Amino acid sequence: MSSRGVSYAVDRLYAASMRSRTIRDAVYQRWNADEFTDLFEHEKMLADRVRVRAYHEAITRQIRPDDVVVDLGTGTGILAMFVARVAKRVYAVDHSDFIEVAEAVARHHGFRNITFVQEHSGSFTPPEQVDVVVHEQMGDELTNEDMITNLLDLRHRILAEGGRILPSRFELFVEPDSLTTSAHVPHLWELEVEGIDFGFLGATTLLEPYQRRRYGRRRVTCDEVSQLLSDPAPVVSFDLDVLPDASVLPREVGVTRRATRAGSLDGYLVYFRAIFDERTALSTSPDAPQTSWRNRFLRTPRRDVVPGDDLSYTVQFPDLRRPSTWSVAPLVTDG
C-alpha cells in the first residue's frame, strides 16, 4: 500500500472507532488522566496568573464558612487549598496519579479539611451532600474536556438543593479574524511562489486525499491573531446551574457579523468566557489579558474585508466534546 493509502486507512479507522461513544469515552478518559501526569501541564496552569487570580478572587468572595465543596479535577490541589481556607470541608477529586503531589502539598501546608480521592468524577460519591462544585474543566475549546457531562452528572447526583457550580456560566465565540503575517498560512491553491503558480490546483480534486483530519483546523496563540474583524457575540451560552442537558444546546448556529475593521479574513477564531459572577470572568479572547489557553482557528481562503461588509456563516458543532467535528461554512459575503 502507498504511504497515502496507509494514512488514509489510519484516518478512516480512527474516524470509525471514534463513532462509538463507548470507545471514545474510554480512550478520552485514559488520555485525560495520562495527560495530567505531565508536570509541565500543571506548571503552565499555575504560571497563568490571569487564570489563578480569577479563581482566587471568585473563591474567596463566594465560598462560605459552612460550605462543603467538591473540587473536580484538583491537579496540584491549588483550587482545593484556596477553598479550604474558607470552607468547612473539601473533597478534592482527580483521576490522575498526579493527585499524590496535591496531597503532599496540602499536607506540607497543614490543611486538615481536604479529603483527596483518586477517582473519576463519574464514580465519585461523597458521604454527605455538597454545596458547591468548584472546577477548572475548560479545554482550549471550552467543552472539549467533557466539562458539561461531568458537571451535570455531579449536579444531579451530589449537589444539595440550591447548590451551585463555580464557574457555571459560559459563552462560546466563533469570530472572523485576521492572523499576523507570520502566522498566516495560505492554502496551496492560493500560492504563487517565485513564478510557480499553484492556483490551477483549486479547480482539481488532486489535493483532496491530502486534506487530512486536521486540515483546516489548527490551534493558534493570541500573539498570532492580528485582530477580530467585527464586534463579537456568543454563538452558544449556557449556565451549568440550570442547563437540563447538553442535548438542548444547538448543534448549528447561523451568524451574521458586520465588519467594523478593515483587514483580511483568514478564518474564524474559537474562544470562550467563563463567568464567575458580576465582577469576575475569564476570557480567552485575543483582546483580553493573555492566558495559557490556546485558540482553535478554523481557516478559510483569505479575502479582504472592509467596514460595513456583512460576514454570514454557519457554525456547526455536531459533537461539542470533539472540536475536530466543528466547522464553519461561509454563506453570503457582500458589502
Ligand X SMILES: C[S@@+](CC[C@H](N)C(=O)[O-])C[C@H]1O[C@@H](n2cnc3c(N)ncnc32)[C@H](O)[C@@H]1O
One residue of 63, 67, 73, 170 binding ligand X per CB under 6 A: 73
Residue 146's φ and ψ, nearest 5 degrees, are 65, 25
CB of 47 to ligand X, least distance (A): 11
User: Is 74 one of the binding residues for ligand X (CB under 6 A)?
Assistant: yes
- 136 catalytic residue (yes or no): yes
CB of 24 to ligand X, least distance (A): 14
- 224 catalytic residue (yes or no): no
CB of 69 to ligand X, least distance (A): 12
User: Which CB sits closer to ligand X, 36 or 170?
Assistant: 36
One residue of 59, 68, 78, 179 binding ligand X per CB under 6 A: 78
User: Which CB sits closer to ligand X, 150 or 295?
Assistant: 150
Residues with Cβ within 8 Å of 232's Cβ and at least 6 positions away in sequence, in order, are 173, 175, 285
One residue of 54, 63, 87, 93 binding ligand X per CB under 6 A: 93
User: Which CB sits closer to ligand X, 105 or 201?
Assistant: 105
235/270 Cα distance (integer angstroms)? 10
One residue of 59, 83, 90, 94 binding ligand X per CB under 6 A: 94
CB of 33 to ligand X, least distance (A): 6
> Whole-angstrom distance between the N-terminal and C-terminal Cα of the chain?
49
CB of 76 to ligand X, least distance (A): 6
Grid cell 483532496 — which residue?
208
3-state helix, strand, coil in the chain (%, to 5): 30, 30, 35
Given the DSSP bridges, would you call strands 68-72 and 89-94 parallel, antiparallel or unpaired? parallel
Length in residues, the chain: 335
Residues 206-245 that bind ligand X (CB under 6 A): none
User: Is 95 one of the binding residues for ligand X (CB under 6 A)?
Assistant: yes
User: Which CB sits closer to ligand X, 82 or 317?
Assistant: 82
Residues with Cβ within 8 Å of 219's Cβ and at least 6 positions away in sequence, in order, are 140, 294, 295, 296, 297
Residues 131-150 that bind ligand X (CB under 6 A): 136, 150
Catalytic residue among 103, 141, 145, 175: 145
159/152 Cα distance (integer angstroms)? 10
Catalytic residue among 35, 100, 128, 136: 136
122/157 Cα distance (integer angstroms)? 9
Which H or E run contains 270?
A: strand 263-275
124/99 Cα distance (integer angstroms)? 15
User: Which CB sits closer to ligand X, 120 or 184?
Assistant: 120
Cα 48 to chain centroid distance, Å, stands at 16
Angle at which helices 49-62 and 39-47 pack, to 10 degrees?
A: 70
Residues 19-38 that bind ligand X (CB under 6 A): 32-33, 36
Q: Write out the catalytic residue numbers.
A: 136, 145
Instruction: List contacts with ligand X (CB under 6 A).
Output: 32-33, 36, 45, 73-76, 78-79, 93-96, 120-121, 136, 150
